Structure 1
Amino acid sequence: MSTNTPESRGNKKLLIVGFIVILTSINGILLYMNYQKKEKAEEQEEVIRVKNTELENQIKVYEALKADFERQSQELQAMGIENDSLESKIAAINADLDKLRGFRNSSFSIADQRKFRERAQVFEKQLVEKDKEIAKLKEDNEVLFTENTTLKTTQNKMADSLTTMKSTNQDLTEKVKLASRLEANSITVNVVNQRGKEKDDNDNEFRAKTVDKIKVAFKLGQNDVAPKEPKTIYMRLIEPDGAALYNLSTGSGTFQIDGEDMYYTAKRDIVFDNTQQQVSFVYDKNAAYKKGQHTIELYADGFLIGRSSFVLK
Structure 2
Amino acid sequence: MENKSSASEASRTPEKGQNKRIFTVILVLLLLAASGAFVYKYLESSELAKQNQLTQEQLDQAYNDLDSMSNELDTRILKIAQLGGEIDTLLQIKTQLEEEKKAFRKKAYNQINDLQGKVNGYKELLLAQDEEIERLKVLNDSLMVENTELKVAANNLNESIKDLNQSKAKLEEKVATASKLKVEKVEILAISSSGKERPSPFKNRHIDHLKINFEIVENRVAPIEGKGILVKITGPDGNVVFDVAAGSGTFMYEGRESFYTVKKDILFDRNSQALTFLYNKGSDYELGKYVLEVFTDDYKMGEASFIVK
Task: Give the TM-score band, short-chain normalised.
Answer: 0.7 to 0.9
The 3 A distance-change label for structure 1 pair 240 and 12 is closer
**Mapped partners of 1:135, 1:80: distance in 2:** 11
Shift of 1:212: 0.8
Counterpart of 2:62 (choices 51, 55, 58) is 58
Tell me how large the CA RMSD over aligned residues is.
Answer: 3.9
Matched residue count: 302
Verify: 1:211 aligned to 2:201, yes or no. Answer: no
**Mapped partners of 1:268, 1:248: distance in 2:** 14
User: Which stretch shows the higher mean deviation, 154-163 or 242-251?
Assistant: 154-163
Counterpart of 1:254 (choices 246, 250, 253) is 250
Q: Partner residue of 1:235?
A: 231
The 3 A distance-change label for structure 1 pair 65 and 148 is same
The 3 A distance-change label for structure 1 pair 3 and 294 is same
Q: 1:73-99, CA deviations, whole angstroms, 9 ceiling, x for partnerless residues? A: 656776698846246414422332341
Secondary structure, aligned partner of 1:304: strand
Which amino acid is 2:198 matched to? D
Is contact 1:218-1:280 (8 Å) kept?
yes
Q: TM-score, normalised by structure 1?
A: 0.75
Verify: 1:67 aligned to 2:71, yes or no. Answer: yes
Q: Partner residue of 1:35?
A: 39
User: Which stretch shows the higher mean deviation, 163-172 or 301-310?
Assistant: 163-172
Which amino acid is 1:64 matched to? S
Long gaps (5+) in structure 2:
none
**Mapped partners of 2:85, 2:231: distance in 1:** 68
Long gaps (5+) in structure 1:
none
User: Which stretch shows the higher mean deviation, 288-297 or 156-165?
Assistant: 156-165
**Mapped partners of 2:111, 2:301: distance in 1:** 104
Counterpart of 1:92 (choices 89, 99, 118) is 99
Counterpart of 1:3 (choices 7, 18, 42) is 7
Is contact 1:63-1:97 (8 Å) kept?
no
Is contact 1:252-1:265 (8 Å) kept?
yes
**Mapped partners of 2:29, 2:210: distance in 1:** 161
**Mapped partners of 1:166, 1:254: distance in 2:** 36
Where do 1:106-255 residues align within 5 Å?
A: 108=109, 111-121=110-120, 161-197=160-196, 199-201=197-199, 204-255=200-251
Q: Partner residue of 1:284?
A: 280
Shift of 1:166: 3.7
The 3 A distance-change label for structure 1 pair 234 and 144 is same
Is contact 1:66-1:94 (8 Å) kept?
no
The 3 A distance-change label for structure 1 pair 66 and 163 is same
Secondary structure, aligned partner of 1:209: helix
Q: TM-score, normalised by structure 2?
A: 0.76
